[in-house]
Structure 1
């Protein structure tokens, strides 16, 4: 009896703490939504939204499937709810989240399992969750086009439907028109990798009704996923299209995939197809707030993608927040779970429900400095960040020398491109000369050095053949414990225990396996890297055949970063040819001579610049983590 009374009292107290419906129509406290709706009885349905295009050439406009779960009690009372949307090509081919969840359906075709915790947590709090199958995947018609009008249109048109500007139907073909009168029209998009990329692309259209996006490890320019300043990386758009369309039976997208092979040049030229998939160029159109998350050691979607997107959004004045982890291509649910769910709850409550949840008082930027050790910043790049030029100066041993903030010094260095080697080979034995790279270091630092922003390297190089690649790597030499971003979990270990985040229903539970940091003790850590094709020295849109023996000057970007090189460590700049873990080799690997007077790194430094305390030697053979070649976004 006492237990029953206590339960009733607790329920009364909980209801007493709930406010009357907010302006957005959800029931909750004045500052946070509460789980007042029954998840097990939620309405689950599929609406097919007409895209107004025929991407698969079957003579009918494509329709994309939008699976919806929303609170039944809100619908019964006529209370409208906002929408959290995830548009993805992965709901049937590759799965979402650390446990690779796929959508499931009952015998009547109604959606049962909505991957990840978003529905379990947010539907009881007065939200609808809508998972959209990108055209050409799962139950949607049409064909994927890897970030182009079909992909972005798949999600944008669903936003339009939620706001009464597009037509939805009760079936994939035929069927009755369906409206979305149950929603306020306020939409927040979220997703990792390809999914977050679609969120970026939809935001860049400026579509009305999209209030916020949460892009996680997302691409901002597809050129910078598959190419890098003229250098060709791993994988291809057509190959990715085949992967995500593999389980979409009953239609033929081979013609669309052939078109993808034709419109993207095999070389590193920045063609119109890449420009069409450059969301950075459309950042001026963004009206939605942005909560971006990225791994500083993401070897799949390189960090330059978050850096250029964040910087392009700055003039727009939209509200922004940024988390930067030490992980690779990992969702924050798996590296900072409790804090992430709370931050996401706060973010969506403010931008979709209009609650004063404290978003404005939260840190603008949070950075993981050591495994599970986070610091907050007011900005990224960090306040006071400025460009510092470091110039290589040759030493007594060929190919080895120092980095100086002084004026240019005459000198030269030579290396031979060895396509069998990568950054790990170049960095592994820093005290030994190598025919495949040159290495320059600050010496032991007298104080911490804070790098925050996007740097670049300028080389003046003379190749011995008509084709040449140049790579640059920034390395922190010194003992440290880091997340093992090159390991199988890319910085996390998945356990066997579970914890639960929200309510469960038959076939759709809220429980997920716990994770912890997977760490490695190292003697060096690659902080940033960049690659270029010297043939694109004059223009990224046009490759020129090089003249052997002629010098060429080219500036190319390093990956965006935010890192502290501790006092006593050494910062090194390594320049080599083909970095085999990331880019393709040239047809004729050359011998390259560098003019050191016209070769330098421009690094974003917050606080004091690099000051050497001594000429302390580098470790002879430091422990390292070795990157794996990246196959493509099908890794999720």
Structure 2
């Protein structure tokens, strides 16, 4: 080879090497590699003009965006994609299992970026942008809990990254900041409120947002605070806003907080404020791919939120993927760390860098069957799933009934009296006992596994004795199992004393995080799907009425989405009761409810449909009601007792 050829070859390697390292070639690329320096990365802050004046000071609000990006592509004139997490928690409450907050040097320059996204992805050629929502940390404006201020805070940053908005180098100055280093491709990620914002921004259809990773996010803020009219929490969004606002926002956002109180009345009625915060209604606008991760025992952001979002995305042909764990409100980084980071890496490489790694062709769903044991499905809900009508039959002993395949003509009435001191654990433990506070409908012992995949409904014709009534319906797997201890404060994980590292570190930002392990417990029954409602909100319009005692009302209760296998040898139970203590707020009265079985049934998402149910019931042992007496109350494990009382702590 000539000297000229050698020089040209060397020059091409210098110029093209980093590109090949990031994008590669081949039918199944290995993806981006950690070839850029984390220590030498560019760290900067900008303030993006949102165009809003939420704090009503006569000036448009600017939101702070802290940026870390590799210096090598910048020096070579190459643009990079962006991973973005927009959050209200960067100063008040922290992010992740270790509650990390942003840190800055004495000049206000960013030093510490919460979570591992920067440590892991910046060396691989990504920029990471952490946005303070309006009214929080270093941003102007007011918190409006899922409304225009929240969503525009993040959308404006995407617009700036694509040359459609203006940013400044300081909060109040006039020197503009350019985003010429960005190639315009953005992936949003976040847990809880952060994931909620990602959902809301995706539902605007903003150009440049290529993918979102929604970890335990809300798809409709109404469904965070209410379940068909029944209040899930005592407080409202105005209280949540006050918990995350910066000190500056607290002094001048009283008008916004009043608007939140007025728009979100505690009577459970649907209002225009809830409509403005209903993202799944705008799923037809979503252009980004969506990766959902959800704990099936999440009693904070309850699983109705992911289920209705997922169904709406499917109806609109959105590319999507899902992980369903046995945990509560937990990030996958803390229950399946290595697999999560690897999958997330592939996901971002494909949708933000165009790497042909096949991630979009992998099984759509990963589902945790028992602690740390996972199965996959090509699509979700599982292939062959069908809404299957299940009959509710009386057994001759009030409070004890049975489930039957199909819904043959039935007669009879079951009744119970609301006992707000009891919860779903009490009911499940007493499923085979006649108690005054609930009605149990059970199968016999199943002859084969019975899988439920997705969400179901329970339709009840109920007659109350008072002017208000709450209803609960829960599905229970009756049989011994080892499950994650989701009702404990850590919601199914144990934090260990060891650490593992995920990327590169500096003295001000460590890539090493405390390891975790599954926290398990042995149980005799497992509640795996739930639904709650206020009977006065029986109309789908969700405008409540005062009930007429003695008058029957028909209501369809939506059961939260899940994926659960009731194994052969176990039994399936549907329990209908009143207030689920700790999970819904009790009504003002304690009614006795009569349920007309001839006008009541359940529709369950059974894999294999009616034939699968008939096969599982074949040879079953029939009713299993060892006693018809009322036993002493079983101590409750108190599912909601483990949840933090602060709304901000609860929703992080």
Pair 1:19–1:482, CA change in 2 (3 A): farther
In the alignment, which residue of structure 2 is the partner of 1:321?
Answer: 321
- Alpha-carbon separation, structure 2, partners of 1:73 and 1:18: 11
Do residues 538 (structure 1) and 536 (structure 2) align? no
- Offset at residue 319 of structure 1 (A): 1.4
> Partner of 1:627 in structure 2?
639
Q: CA deviation at 1:479?
A: 0.3
Could you tell me which residue of structure 2 aligns to residue 201 of structure 1?
Answer: 200
Residue 611 (structure 1) aligned to one of 617, 629, 639: 617
Write the distance in 2 (CA, Å) between the matches of 1:170 and 1:618. 71
Q: In the TM superposition, what is the alpha-carbon distance from 1:539 to its structure 2 partner?
A: 3.5
Cα distance in 1 for partners of 2:540, 2:180 equals: 51
Aligned position for 1:48 = 47
Q: Is the 8 A contact 2:445 2:569 kept in 1?
A: yes
Q: Which moved more, 1:618-627 or 1:531-540?
A: 618-627
Query: Contact 1:491–1:518 (CA<8 Å) still a contact in 2?
Result: yes
Looking at structure 1, the residues matched to 284 and 561 of structure 2 have their Cα atoms a distance apart, in angstroms, of 21
Residue 431 (structure 1) shift: 2.4
1:261 aligns with 2:261: yes
Alignment partner, residue 6 of structure 2 = none
Aligned equivalent of 1:491: 492
Separation in structure 1 between the aligned mates of residue 167 and residue 584 of structure 2, nearest angstrom: 44
SS at match of 2:282: helix
CA gap 1:372/1:72 in 2 versus in 1, 3 angstroms: same
SS of 2:32's equivalent? Answer: coil
The match for 2:7 is none
1:18·1:34 contact (CA, 8 Å) conserved in 2? no
Q: Deviations over 1:15-47 (max 9, x none)?
A: 999974559x94656431001111001111100
Correspondence 1:313-462 to 2 at 5 A: 313-406=313-406, 407-462=408-463
Asked whether the equivalents of residues 139 and 248 of structure 1 are also in contact (C-alpha less than 8 Å), the reply is: no
- In structure 2, C-alpha distance between the alignment counterparts of 1:393 and 1:541, rounded to whole Å: 29
CA distance in 1, matches of 2:247, 2:69: 27
Deviates more, 1:310-319 or 1:76-85: 310-319
Q: Which residue of 2 aligns with 1:161?
A: 160
For 1:594, the equivalent position in structure 2 comes to 595
Deviation at 1:585, TM superposition (A): 1.6
Quote the offset at 1:626 in angstroms.
3.9
Count the aligned residue pairs: 621
Deviation at 1:513, TM superposition (A): 0.3
Three-state SS of the structure 2 residue aligned to 1:444 is coil
CA apart distance, 1:179:
1.0
Q: Deviations over 1:136-172 (max 9, x none)?
A: 0000010110100000000000000000000000111
Question: TM-score, with normalisation over the residues of structure 1?
Answer: 0.95
Q: Distance in 2 between matches of 1:168 and 1:18?
A: 31
Contact kept in structure 2, 1:90 and 1:244, CA below 8 Å: yes
Distance 1:164 1:619 in 2: 70
1:625 to partner: Cα distance: 5.1
Query: Which residue of 1 is the match for residue 125 of structure 2?
Result: 126
Contact 2:529 2:560 in 1 (8 A): yes
* Residue pair 1:26, 1:81 contacting (<8 A) in 2 also: no
CA distance in 1, matches of 2:14, 2:307: 42
Change beyond 3 A, Cα 1:616–1:41: same
Which segment drifts farther, 370-379 or 389-398? 389-398
**Distance of aligned partners of 1:329 and 1:355 in 2 relative to their CA distance in 1, 3 Å threshold:** same
Q: Distance in 2 between matches of 1:248 and 1:492?
A: 37
What is the root-mean-square deviation in Å for CA atoms of aligned residues? Answer: 2.0
